[in-house]
Amino acid sequence: MNKHSQSERIIIFDTTLRDGEQCPGATLNVDEKLLIARQLARLGVDVIEAGFAYASPGDFEAVQRVAKEVGTEGGPTICSLARAIKADIEAAAEALKPACHARIHTFISTSDIHLEYQLRKSRAEVLAIAEEMVAYAKSFMDDVEFSTMDATRTEPEYLYQVLERASAAGATTINIPDTVGYTTPGEFGALIKGIKDNVPNIDQAIISVHGHNDLGLAVANFLEAVKNGARQLECAINGIGERAGNTALEEIVMALHVRRQYYNLFLGRPAESEEPLTNIDTRQIYKTSRLVSNLTGMLVQPNKAIVGANAFAHESGIHQDGVLKNKLTYEIMDAQSIGLTDNQIVLGKHSGRNAFRTRLRELGFELSDNELNKAFVKFKDLADKKKEITDWDLEAIANDEIQQAPELFRLELVQVTCGDHARPTATVTLRTPEGEELIDAATGTGPVDAVYKAISRVVNVPNKLIEFSVQSVTAGIDAIGEVTIRLRHNERVYSGHAANTDIIVASAQAYVNALNRLYAALQDEKVPSSKSGIKEDSVVVQGVREQA
């Protein structure tokens, strides 16, 4: 008998920390993963895929700490990915031990192209492995998810056989991934229906879907899957992930929320039912999106559905006129439903520490005493420059403070001269990981270029700046500017983020932030690209040096 009635709500499985983290430069350290996991719990996701425990000691630690600190009673289920290999399953089970509710997610490819070129195994062999490894995972815990990688390019009859065997071996969730983002909505819906009609024991498991957005169809594919019986959706915040990314959590959740009267019927509910289809607290969506973007350095495009800067802006005169007369003329959802406040002016220069802490708490930020002290200094500094401090300013300050990039090099000073008749020249002072203070200077094509060159003279690790972006947090000339950069070193991408009213200072801080991530990675790999990473002639400025 099906233990999960079809009128139940949709389960949201978040894979931001596993599949999402796989996009270039989105690498997160353990502390950053924990921050995101805590926010995902506040958002109300049912399952957090915290990583792939066997992949590296860092991944193991991340899964283990998320299991311990977020997988508490009443909290989400914590999950680790594992190939259908004993060692992977054992690592997942071990890392997940501290979680109150834990899940092993094991997978194997089933398409002929993967079998022939990647696994070099026959269909019969894969069938046997799937059954054996699900049973093995089951020996560690009851909650076991099984995925058939590249399911949408797998011959359906064979897929049905694999799913039947995995379900018989005890899989509680059966996941159908569109690994290469190849399927289309009608086709995907038909595949889910085919599974329901042709896998005799499918009712023993929940049908889940996992999608990639290569053709821009990931959300549409999921909606068709829901109509045909899928009850778990695997997605990532801001749609980050491999190549074109994973199905965007905020988009699929808001589609189900805004159009619930339409989807209610497919879940066996009366059309007019107001009962939410998911457990997501939609008012946490915007904050979660900002946190993931800041920590991964993956910017959200302005026209991105739901969380893009323009998603609730009305530019055309006709639209503005309509919205002023009645919001519903051009708005299908309320900005507040995703947690966008009215950007009220909340604090000013006379506001005290208590008011500051209280407002941050109301915005969902729990800062340590040390973080709060540093954030309060920034707030006072900002309040001196800017009369009115809004929630968005506070959020930028708090996000900047909770960043967990290692502070190996610290920017002590940055000074720039520039202008239409001056050669842009920057002087910087940095404190090295050993505590030494180094000064250097450089000229550049513009002030940011000069700053970057001066910093590069001190932190001597070759890299290529591949993305530089400045965004203002609020409107107005005195707004905080947020700088996000991505740089490449040896085929790997590192990101940096900083916020300041002075965009040159923010640029310098973002660069040091990214260099610290790069420097930490080099130290972890124990392959520093120069003796110490510090240029030896950077101690005293001898005059401004031209860069080669």
Residue 500 is a binding residue for ligand KIV (CB under 6 A) = no
Binding mask 17-56 for ligand KIV (x = CB under 6 A): --x-------------------------------------
Q: How far is the CB of 208 from Zn ion (least distance, A)?
A: 12
Site for ligand KIV in 173-192 (CB under 6 A): 177, 179
Q: How far is the CB of 52 from Zn ion (least distance, A)?
A: 11
Find, among 111, 108, 126, 254, the residue nearest to 175 by Cα.
108
Residue 282 is a binding residue for ligand KIV (CB under 6 A) = no
Q: How far is the CB of 219 from Zn ion (least distance, A)?
A: 15
Q: How far is the CB of 39 from ligand KIV (least distance, A)?
A: 22
Of 40, 91, 92, 149, which lies in the binding site for ligand KIV, with binding defined by CB under 6 A?
149
Q: How far is the CB of 236 from Zn ion (least distance, A)?
A: 9
Residue 146 binds which entry of Zn ion, ligand KIV, none, CB below 5-8 Å type-dependent: none
Handedness of CA 91, 95, 97, 99 (dihedral sign): negative
Q: Which residues contact 153 (CB under 8 A, 6 or more apart)?
A: 111, 113, 179, 180, 182
| CA distances from residue 315 to 311, 339, 343 in whole angstroms, order as listed | 11, 21, 19
Residue 234 is a binding residue for Zn ion (CB under 5 A) = no
The pairing of strands 345-347 and 410-419 is: unpaired
Number of residues that bind Zn ion (CB under 5 A): 1
Residue 107 binds which entry of Zn ion, ligand KIV, none, CB below 5-8 Å type-dependent: ligand KIV
Helix axes 218-227, 185-198, angle to 10 degrees: 30
Residue 360 binds which entry of Zn ion, ligand KIV, none, CB below 5-8 Å type-dependent: none
Residue 401 is a binding residue for Zn ion (CB under 5 A) = no
- Token code pair at residue 324: 């002023």
Of 60, 107, 146, 392, which lies in the binding site for ligand KIV, with binding defined by CB under 6 A?
107
Q: How far is the CB of 211 from ligand KIV (least distance, A)?
A: 8
Check if the beta carbon of residue 439 is closer than 8 Å to that of residue 540. Answer: yes
Residue with tokens 């968005």: 392
Of 14, 17, 18, 19, which lies in the binding site for Zn ion, with binding defined by CB under 5 A?
19
Q: What is the DSSP string of 238-299?
A: GG-SSTT-BPBHHHHHHHHHHTHHHHHGGGTS-TT--S-SS---GGGHHHHHHHHHHHH--P
Residue 21 is a binding residue for Zn ion (CB under 5 A) = no
Site for ligand KIV in 73-92 (CB under 6 A): 81
Find, among 337, 225, 223, 218, the residue nearest to 283 by Cα.
337
Find, among 384, 359, 388, the residue nearest to 372 by Cα.
359
Judged by CB under 5 A, the stretch of 13-21, 63-71, 93-101, 342-350 that binds Zn ion is 13-21
Calculated CA dihedral for residues 104, 105, 106, 108, nearest 10 degrees: 180
The alpha carbon of 527 is separated from its chain's Cα centroid by a whole number of angstroms, namely 28
Q: Which residues bind ligand KIV (CB under 6 A)?
A: 19, 81, 107, 147, 149, 177, 179, 210, 212
